[in-house]
Structure 1
C-alpha cells in the first residue's frame, strides 16, 4: 500500500510540475495585437444539421461582427428537417449564403463533409476561413481579435475553446472538468509552442489560413476523424504555428442537459481518443483509478504514512482544478469532488467503447460515425 501511495503522489507532482502547466489555464485571448495594415477577407463557414433552436443567435452574432474587412457567411445545411435554413434566411443578413448540403460520401463524418463543402464554395478569394459551430455565439470583436493575432503571428490556425454552458446541476458538476481533462491531454502552452509536437484545436471556433488548409489537401486528409478539431490542429501545425486559447468571447448556447445527456456527449468520442484500442482502454481505466481514485481511497481507508500520502495527492488534485473552477465561477470545494467526476468520465469512456463494439459508436444527429474508423 505504501508503494501505491507513493506512486499516486508522484504522478500528481509530475502532472503539476512537468505537464506544461496545463492546469494553470493561462492561455487566454486577452492580449492586444497591432491592427493589420489591410484587414484580410474572411468567409465564415457554419455547418448545421437540425439546429433550429440555436441557429438564429449563432448566425446573428456572426453577422453582427464589428470586423473592418470583408466578411461573408456560408451556412451549410446538412439535410436539416426542422427549418434551420429558413430560420437563418429570415434574419435577412445581406452577406449570408445558404448552401444546401449534398449526400454524405463514404468515409466522411457529417460535420467535416459540411465544412469541406463550405471551404470549396468559398473559393480562393478569402485569406481566412472561420469555421464556427451552429451553437456558438460570439462577441462582436471576436473575429477582429482572431484575425489580428493570426496576422501578427502568422498563424495557420487560431482557435478558441468556447465557454461551455454551465447551468444545470449536471453541467455545473461535469463541464469544468471536461475542459480540464482536455487541457491535460492537449496542454495549450505546448500546442501554442511551434517547437512542440503537441497539436490541438477547439472545433467551435477555428480561424484557418485558407492557403495553408489547401496545401494539406483541404479536409480530405482528416475526412473520417471523429475528433475532427484536434486532427485539424495536427494537420495545420505541420504548415506553421497554431494557437489555442480559453475565451469568454465565444459561448456555447447548447444545453447539455442532465447526467445521461452529458455522459452520451463524452461517450461520443472518448474511445476514438484511445485509437479504438482495447489495450489503450484497459490502460486508461487502470490509470484513472490510480490517479483519481487511489488518493481518496487511501485517505479514507489506509492508516499511517499511506493515508497521509494519499491525502497529499488528493490535495494536489484539488489544487490543480482550482484555476478551471475559477474560470467557470464554481466553488473551490468542487476540487475535492474531482475523483467522483473522474469516475463518471471513466464510466462514459467504457460506454464509448461498448457503443463502438455494438456498431453505434460516435452517434450524432442519427449517424453512427465511429463505424468509419479503422
Structure 2
C-alpha cells in the first residue's frame, strides 16, 4: 500500500508541476492585419441535418472584413443534410458532395480534401465540424491571432447540460490536455496537436505538409494535422475557446461511451503494451488515491489523501471553465474509472474487427 501511495503522490506532484491543468491558453495577442486574407470555411457534414440549422447560419453570418466563402461537403449523408443546407442558403455558401472515397482514405479527411479543392487559392482554410457554432466575430479573432502562425486551433466548448455530460465532458478536455499540454503544443518542441472543431490553417503551410493527403488515413485527424504542420516547420497554437461551442448532444452514458471508445484504442496505436500501461497508469494515478484513503491507515492513507487532493485541485480550473461547481472535482476518480472501461472496450471492439466506428463507417486498421 505504501509503495502504491508513494508512486501516486509522486505522479501527481510531477503532473501538477507540468501545468497541463491550466486553462489560461486562450487566443494569443491579436493584431489587425493591413490586408484581410481570403478565407474559405470547410465543413465536412455526414448525417448532420439535425444540427445544421443551429450551426451553419453562424458561419454565414460571420462579421469578417475580408473575402469569405463557406464550403459544405456532404459526406455521403443518408439524411437531408444537403437539402437543409440548401434551405439555409446564402451567397457565401457552396454545397458539394464528397463523391466516392478512394481506398486508404478515412471519411473526414477525404471530405476535407474535397472542400480544400473547392477553396482555390484562399490564403486560409477554416476546418470546422458541422456541430460547431461560432460567435459572430470568431473568424476575425482567429485571423487576428494567427499572425505568423500557420495553424490556430481552439477546442470548442462541449455541451454540459445533462448529468452524464456534466460528469464526463470536462474530464474529456482535461485528459486531452494531459496527453497534449497546450503550452508544449504552442512551444517549439515536438509536441503537436489540434482540435478538429476549429482549425484555421494557412493554405501554403498545409501544402508544405503534403496537403490533406498527409493525414488521409488518420481517424484522429486533428492531432495528425497539427503534427503534420509542425513537422513541416510550421508554427501552431492550440487553446480553449470562448465563443466556439459544440451543439451536439450526448444525453446518455451510451452516447458518450461511443464518442470516447471509437478512437481510444487508435490513440494507443493498437498496442496491447500501451493498453496495459494505460490501464495500470489510470488505476494507480486516479483510482488508488481514493481507494487507499478509505482502505488504509497511517502513512499510506496520508500519502493517498495528499495525492487525491492534488488530483482534485488540478481539475477545478477545468470545471470552472465548463461552468461546473468546484466540489464536483472529487468525483474525478469515478470519471477516470469510466474512461478506463471505455478504453478497454475500444480495444475489444478493435479485436472484434469493428475498429473505430462512426456513423456507419468502421476503420479496423485506422492509423493513430
Tell me the alpha carbon deviations over residues 207-227 of structure 1, each in whole angstroms, 9 at most, x when there is no partner: 010011011211111111111
Aligned equivalent of 2:352? 358
Separation (CA, whole Å) in 1 of partners of 2:315 and 2:366: 35
1:50-129 matches, cutoff 5 A: 50-123=47-120, 125-129=121-125
Q: Provide the residue aligned with 1:274 in structure 2.
A: 268
Establish whether residue 146 from structure 1 lines up as the match of residue 142 from structure 2: yes
**Do the aligned partners of 1:272 and 1:370 also contact (CA within 8 Å) in 2?**
no
Question: Does the aligned pair in 2 maintain the 1:360–1:371 contact within 8 Å?
Answer: no
Moved more, 77-86 or 157-166: 77-86
| Counterparts of 2:363 and 2:320, CA distance in 1 | 35
TM-score between the two structures when normalised by the length of structure 2: 0.98
Q: Indicate which of 30, 36, 60 corresponds to 2:33.
A: 36
151, 155, 180: which one aligns with 2:174: 180
Task: Give 5+ residue unaligned stretches, structure 2.
Answer: none
Q: Hey, what does 1:24 align to over in structure 2? A: 22
The answer on whether the counterparts of 2:355 and 2:366 sit within 8 Å (CA) in structure 1 is: no
| Whole-Å separation in 1 of the counterparts to 2:31 and 2:205 | 22
Separation in structure 2 between the aligned mates of residue 32 and residue 294 of structure 1, nearest angstrom? 41
RMSD after superposition: 1.1
* Offset, 1:372: 3.8
User: Does the CA contact (< 8 Å) of 1:137 and 1:253 recur in 2?
Assistant: yes
Contact 1:48/1:80 (<8 A) preserved: yes
Q: For each residue in 1:224-270, what CA deviation from the matched residue of structure 2 results, as whole angstroms up to 9, or x when unmatched?
A: 11111000000111232101110121110000121111011100110
* Number of equivalent positions: 367
Q: Does 1:218 align with 2:211?
A: yes
On the 8 A contact 2:356/2:366 being kept in 1, the answer is no
1:23 touches 1:180 (CA, 8 Å); kept in 2?
Answer: yes
For the residues of structure 2 that align with 1:370 and 1:69, how far apart are their CA atoms? 42
State yes or no: 1:191 paired with 2:185.
yes
Q: Which runs of 5+ in 1 are unaligned?
A: none
Q: TM-score, normalised by structure 1?
A: 0.96
Distance 1:203 1:294 in 2: 33
After superposition, the C-alpha distances for 1:279-312 in whole angstroms (9 at most, x for unaligned) are 1101110111000111011100101010011000
Q: In structure 2, what is the Cα distance between the partners aligned to 1:24 and 1:215?
A: 32
SS of residue in 2 equivalent to 1:126: coil
Give the Å deviation of 1:32. Answer: 4.6
Instruction: Give per-residue Cα distances to partners, 1:318-369, cap 9 Å, x unaligned.
Output: 0010000000111211111111110000000001001111111111010012
Measure the CA separation in 2 of the matches of 1:251 and 1:56. Answer: 15
Partners in 2 of 1:372 and 1:184 — Cα distance?
23
